[in-house]
Structure 1
Amino acid sequence: MAKLQHSIYVLLFFVLSFGGLYFAGPFLIPVTLAAVFSMLFIRLCNWFEHKGMSRGLASLLCILSFVLAIALIVFLLFWQLNGLVENIDAMKTRAVSLVSNFQQWIYEKVGIDAQQQKEMVTQQGQAGGSGAGNMLAGFAAKIMDILVNTVLVLVYMFLFLLYRSHIKKFILKLVPGDEKNKADGVVHKAGKVAQQYLSGLAAMIGILWVMYGIGFSIVGVESAIFFAVLCGILEIIPFVGNLTGTLVTLLSVVAQGGDSKMIIGVLVTYAMVQFIQTYLLEPLIVGEQVNINPLFTILVIVLGEMIWGIAGMVLAIPLLGILKIVCDHVPDLQSYGFLIGTEKQRSRKTGVIDKIKSIFDR
């Protein structure tokens, strides 16, 4: 009975925590993004410090490297986007043709002619027209909010890297003296898992850019690099991102006037890339740093979107991985760590991927 009561208290704690995370999102999202991203640069920052740089200068160089990488990605996107803008008239003509065909299909199936459909759309537009100004103001406010949060994330990242030893000492002071060694191991392992997951994910995204770029170019997709970069970046969000990127590419191909062969080519490219990613890249590059079963992977992504939106979907996997490590090392929470994780079915390395990984691990 006492054990059941304890489990209920733990679940109640999680429910209250999720509520607090939701209402404190505007403050916590930039802080959490900075904390997770800063883990990615700890190894680089240590390397700079070993070369004789001060911690402040090393942290600043890491932030500059991060900004440079983001700027390069944005440059590639806008560079390829210019090609789409040049063909916007042709895409509009194709879109109008598709809409006309769709209206004709509705008339044949439902009996509503094009004029009636136009009147229905006009009525809907008039109903929402009064809020157009508010929508524009809200969009401008959203852009400003993104810019402010971006600056905050960069500032927080610099401070987290600069004061990481101080923060670690604070965490160790929270535990009893006889548990400090164990707590130090948990902190180190949690940081290492997040770092390895993010670095592996970054490497996998880079490889996906190349594969998608080659595939889309062979198929004949206009601005192939743009859609390759887009599909790769969206892989940050598991399950949802790859489908979204491919759907956007297909819609663009249709708007560009692509034939059935091009559409099939995009689908084949997507299938081949997903096969290579699932059975080769993820086991070899990302590995099992975040050892979470698929059920909780999907659940935490959905929950992250409900609490923090897109940022929550991006942060869901690494944060749950850190939480699992904490649960595995706290006796009262080990059952939850077992529930989140996966059971290892093999006691020895026999797979091809394991053999390849063992070569790189030597």
Structure 2
Amino acid sequence: MEKLQQSVYVLLLFSFGFAGLYFAGPFLIPVVLSAVLAMLFIRLCNYLESKNIGRAVAALLCMLAFVCCIGLVLTLLSVQLSSLAENIDEMKSRLYQLFDNLRNWLNQTAGIDKKQQEQMLKGQGNGAGTMLLGFASSVMSIAVNAVLVLVYMYLFLLYRTHIKKFILKLVARDEKAEADLVVHKAGKVSQKYLSGLAAMIGMLWILYGIGFSLIGVENAIFFAVLCGLLEIIPFAGNLTGTSITVLAVVAQGNGNDKIIWVLLTYAVVQFIQTYILEPLVVGEQVNINPLFTIMAIVLGEMIWGIAGMILAIPLLGMVKIICDHHPQLQPYGFLIGPENPRKQKTSVIDYFKKLFGKK
């Protein structure tokens, strides 16, 4: 009976915690995102400090390296987008033609004539000014949050030892060693997952680029980079990228054959990703079963939107580590973990270390 009460209390705590996360989202999203990114660069920061570079300068260099990576990707996209803009007029005319065909189809099948369709569109157009204002507000919010993430990331790297000491001060003296191990493992989970995800995205760029180029998709590199980047959003990202590519192929006036080839390319790349790239490059770094992986992504989207979907898996991996090292929470760690933890896969880094390591 006592264990049942403890379980109920834990579930209530989680419920109140999720409610707090939802209402504090505007403040917590840039903080948590920057903390996870800072964990990714801890190894690089430690390496720079081992070369007699001050912590403040090392943290600044890590932040600049991150900005340069984002800048390179955006530059590549903008270059490809400029070449895509050259054909935008032709794509517009084809889209208008498709739209006109759709209106004719609605008139013939659903009995909605063109005047009724225009009235429906006018009703939607009344909120165009509000939509434009909302879009401008969203762009400003993203820009402010991007600056906050960079500032927080730099400060987390600069004060990481101070923060770790604070966490250790919260536990009893005889539990400091266990708490230190938990903090170390939690940082490793985020670091390995994000580094593996970045490597997998790079490989997907190559695979999609080769596939789209072979079947003759215009601006193949742009759509390859876009499909790879959208992999940051689990499950929904790859479907969104492929849907955009198919829509672009339709707008470019290509036939059904090319659309089928795009879908086949997507299927082949997804097969390679699922059965080769993810086991080798990412591995089961977060050690979570698929059921709770999907549930975490859905819950993350409900609480924090797209940012929640991106952060759901590494955060749940950290929660599992905390549960595994706390006696009262170990049943929850067992529940969200894999059914056969002994058959855990390794990352590509661990694979090559094992392959070329000393026997």
| TM-score, normalising length: structure 2 | 0.94
- Report the AA paired with residue 64 of structure 1: L
Shift of 1:237: 1.2
- Report the AA paired with residue 50 of structure 1: S
Q: Establish whether residue 318 from structure 1 lines up as the match of residue 314 from structure 2.
A: yes
2:226 to 227, 230, 248: 230
Aligned to 1:249: 245
CA spacing shift, 1:360–1:15, aligned 2, 3 Å: farther
1:295 to 260, 282, 291: 291
- Report the AA paired with residue 355 of structure 2: I
- Does structure 1 retain, via aligned residues, the 8 Å contact 2:35–2:152? yes
Q: Quick one: distance in 2 between partners of 1:138 and 1:242?
A: 27
Aligned to 1:50: 50
Q: Quick one: distance in 1 between partners of 2:140 and 2:252?
A: 33
Q: Establish whether residue 210 from structure 1 lines up as the match of residue 210 from structure 2.
A: no
* Mapping 1:118-197, distance limit 5 Å: 118-122=118-122, 124-125=123-124, 129=126, 131-197=127-193
Aligned to 1:70: 70
- Report the AA paired with residue 187 of structure 2: G
Q: What residue ranges of structure 2 are gaps of 5+ in the alignment?
A: none
Secondary structure of 1:338 counterpart: helix
Q: Quick one: distance in 1 between partners of 2:279 and 2:353?
A: 9
Shift of 1:139: 2.0
Q: Establish whether residue 96 from structure 1 lines up as the match of residue 96 from structure 2.
A: yes
1:247-304 CA distance string (max 9 Å, x none): 1111111111111121111111111111111111111011111111111111111111
Q: Quick one: distance in 2 between partners of 1:112 and 1:133?
A: 27
- Does structure 1 retain, via aligned residues, the 8 Å contact 2:38–2:156? yes
Q: Quick one: distance in 2 between partners of 1:74 and 1:356?
A: 31
Q: Quick one: distance in 2 between partners of 1:164 and 1:34?
A: 12
Q: Establish whether residue 265 from structure 1 lines up as the match of residue 256 from structure 2.
A: no
Aligned to 2:194: 198
Q: Quick one: distance in 2 between partners of 1:270 and 1:137?
A: 36
- Report the AA paired with residue 77 of structure 2: L
Q: Quick one: distance in 1 between partners of 2:231 and 2:225?
A: 10
1:178-233 CA distance string (max 9 Å, x none): 11111111110110111011000000000001111111111111111111111111
CA spacing shift, 1:347–1:200, aligned 2, 3 Å: closer
- Does structure 1 retain, via aligned residues, the 8 Å contact 2:40–2:190? yes
CA spacing shift, 1:348–1:28, aligned 2, 3 Å: closer
Q: What residue ranges of structure 1 are gaps of 5+ in the alignment?
A: none
1:69-124 CA distance string (max 9 Å, x none): 001111111111112211111111111111122122222222233333223323x2
- Does structure 2 retain, via aligned residues, the 8 Å contact 1:284–1:357? no
- Does structure 2 retain, via aligned residues, the 8 Å contact 1:30–1:153? yes
1:140-176 CA distance string (max 9 Å, x none): 2221111111111001000100111111111111111
Secondary structure of 1:343 counterpart: coil
Secondary structure of 1:148 counterpart: helix
Aligned to 1:25: 25
- Does structure 1 retain, via aligned residues, the 8 Å contact 2:284–2:344? no
Q: Quick one: distance in 1 between partners of 2:111 and 2:344?
A: 65
1:333-354 CA distance string (max 9 Å, x none): 01101111102276699xxxx9
- Report the AA paired with residue 273 of structure 1: V
Secondary structure of 1:257 counterpart: coil
Q: Quick one: distance in 1 between partners of 2:351 and 2:57?
A: 40
CA spacing shift, 1:113–1:347, aligned 2, 3 Å: closer
Q: Quick one: distance in 2 between partners of 1:348 and 1:314?
A: 23
Aligned to 1:221: 217
Q: Quick one: distance in 2 between partners of 1:39 and 1:265?
A: 40
- Does structure 1 retain, via aligned residues, the 8 Å contact 2:301–2:308? yes
Aligned to 2:333: 337
Aligned to 2:36: 36
Shift of 1:132: 3.3
Shift of 1:322: 0.5
Superposed CA RMSD in Å reads 1.9
Q: Quick one: distance in 2 between partners of 1:74 and 1:95?
A: 27
| TM-score, normalising length: structure 1 | 0.94
- Report the AA paired with residue 26 of structure 2: P
Q: Quick one: distance in 2 between partners of 1:44 and 1:335?
A: 35
Q: Quick one: distance in 2 between partners of 1:338 and 1:178?
A: 25
Secondary structure of 2:340 counterpart: coil
2:270 to 257, 268, 274: 274
- Report the AA paired with residue 359 of structure 1: L
**How many residue pairs were aligned?**
355
Q: Work out the percentage of aligned pairs sharing the same amino acid.
A: 67
